[in-house]
Amino acid sequence: MITKPFVGVLLMLCAGAASAGAAEPSCVVVEQGWVRLPPPSASMAAGYATIRNGCKVAVTVVAADSRAFDDVSLHESTRVDGVSRMRAVERLPIAAGATVELKPGGLHLMLMQSVDTLTAGMVLPLRLSLADGRKVEGMLQVREAAR
């Protein structure tokens, strides 16, 4: 007659595991991050990466920062009448299971005033802030523009 209480305990364990999974912080990841090596004396650089939302819910990126730069923001490049323009992106929503690509000519990280002089091969930290308060850590590798 010990079967019934035993099943009850198992159910509780399963419920606990499920709620821990919902709070799992690493279901949003930054992959293949890189920075285009800017010309010497340039005060800004552009960063790119793939942001993957493996969570079961949509997330929204609301800010980005890095210890390697004074200021980091999300931008989007668009072409208007053949002229390339940039606008700030205050909120970047990513649906559950979706991937957003930051790449040349589109969404990018605007990296202002690097703390150290950038050289090819450097690996710099990146941190994204989500609307729900979570932080996502990533890396950006500095690469030559031409490749």
Binding segment for Cu ion among 2-10, 83-91, 94-102, 137-145 (CB under 5 A)?
83-91
Binding Cu ion (rule: CB under 5 A), the pick from 7, 86, 95, 112 is: 86
Q: Is 23 helix (H, G, I), strand (E, B) or coil?
A: coil
Residue 126 CB, shortest distance to Cu ion, in Å, is: 15
Full DSSP string of 53-88: E-SSS-EEEEEEE-TTEEEEEEEEEEEETTEEEEEE
Binding segment for Cu ion among 28-36, 49-57, 85-93, 118-126 (CB under 5 A)?
85-93
C-beta closer to Cu ion: residue 88 or 146: 88
C-beta closer to Cu ion: residue 75 or 127: 75
Containing H/E element for 31?
Answer: strand 28-36
Residue 106 vs residues 28, 81, 120, 126: alpha-carbon distances, Å: 21, 16, 22, 19
Binding Cu ion (rule: CB under 5 A), the pick from 60, 62, 75, 100 is: 75
Q: Are 110 and 76 in contact (CB under 8 A)?
A: no
C-beta closer to Cu ion: residue 55 or 102: 102
Binding-site ranges for Cu ion (CB under 5 A): 75, 86, 110
